[in-house]
Structure 1
């Protein structure tokens, strides 16, 4: 099971866990597993029950994919790092079975063996957290002098996405701003390195040491790209801008 939509890899951990994301611009829910679109505001019938869109996307995932857990569990070993035996044990744990029940299901006859499995899996979880931290720290060690793009101080992760040479940057901008660097965007790429270059260029439309209302940010971004809400969100996600918790004020971080 390796045919995973590109959007899946761009989703947050919480979105991956729930199996879907909400697109604010189109006002729709998108299944990260198969790409099914559920339009918000529409009532969906299922087994003589009517569901609002947010409820129905959960029904869709349960009906078509069993659950996000089962989808993730059944991904290729290259992605999960889990053996078939570990997957079976995890599935039994997910079902809420006791150590004794799991032992009987596996035919081991020993609850101590199952306790060891639980311990090993918790250790694997710890290792995964440490590995993620190591990779983020490694990315932060990229010498700034090797980067053309200014790295925002609030970037959640500093890595090769920001390692863009002047030549690369010029090529990216000419590709996606076909009508000139003042916009609009011809399209918006999925590759993060290209997105970083474009977002960095878009910052030139904002003044430093100035606060903007969300309406003002939208007015600046809207002529550049039809999905201006996506641009606004990514400027925050990539650390180029910050905003107050209520979204009433935005400002540059560079």
Structure 2
């Protein structure tokens, strides 16, 4: 696998934290690699062996948008379309079921351990770490 098109777990977490907690982005990022990181993070909310109705998919996408990503200018319908276009989500020919394909025709490959990440936990722990650093910085500046 081409190193340039492969994302390690460490890089994935770093990019995800930056995109969701630090960047202040409200819309889809411009860099394709960042888009792929976000799309992959969405799929981690799904059981890859399951099949989902549109309602179930929409609920998970809305949850990701509101609770995880905090992107304000992307709606769940647009996000679903992005995921389908980028082969992170497949819709059945009759449009009634959705699945997460194990290997889509993607330009970016992800380290296998990423599939086991709890992205909610990763972001929660990272937010705590950011808040602690901020508090330490503020208390250092107050004492000066």
Q: Does the 8 A contact of 1:176 with 1:187 survive in 2?
A: no
Distance 2:27 2:19 in 1: 6
2:68 paired residue number: none
Out of 34, 39, 42, which is 1:194 matched to?
34
The CA RMSD over aligned residues, in Å, is 2.3
Structure 1 residue 163 corresponds to structure 2 residue 10: no
Distance 2:26 2:98 in 1: 26
Runs of 4+ off more than 6 Å: none
Aligned length: 92
Structure 1 residue 172 corresponds to structure 2 residue 15: yes
Gaps of 5+ in 2: 66-73, 103-144
Query: Residue 177 of structure 1 aligns to a residue in which SS?
Result: helix
1:195-226: CA deviation from partner (whole Å, max 9, x where unpaired): 10111111111012211111110110012224
Q: Does the 8 A contact of 1:178 with 1:186 survive in 2?
A: no
Distance 1:176 1:186 in 2: 10
For 1:213-224, list aligned pairs within 5 A: 213-224=53-64
Q: Does the 8 A contact of 1:176 with 1:186 survive in 2?
A: no
2:114 paired residue number: none
Distance 2:29 2:86 in 1: 15
Bigger radius of gyration: 1
Higher helix share: 2
TM-superposed deviation, 1:186? 5.2
- Tell me the TM-score normalised to structure 1 length: 0.33
Q: Does the 8 A contact of 1:241 with 1:251 survive in 2?
A: yes
1:103-138: CA deviation from partner (whole Å, max 9, x where unpaired): xxxxxxxxxxxxxxxxxxxxxxxxxxxxxxxxxxxx
Distance 1:207 1:167 in 2: 22
Gaps of 5+ in 1: 1-142, 147-159, 180-184
Structure 1 residue 203 corresponds to structure 2 residue 43: yes
- Tell me the TM-score normalised to structure 2 length: 0.55
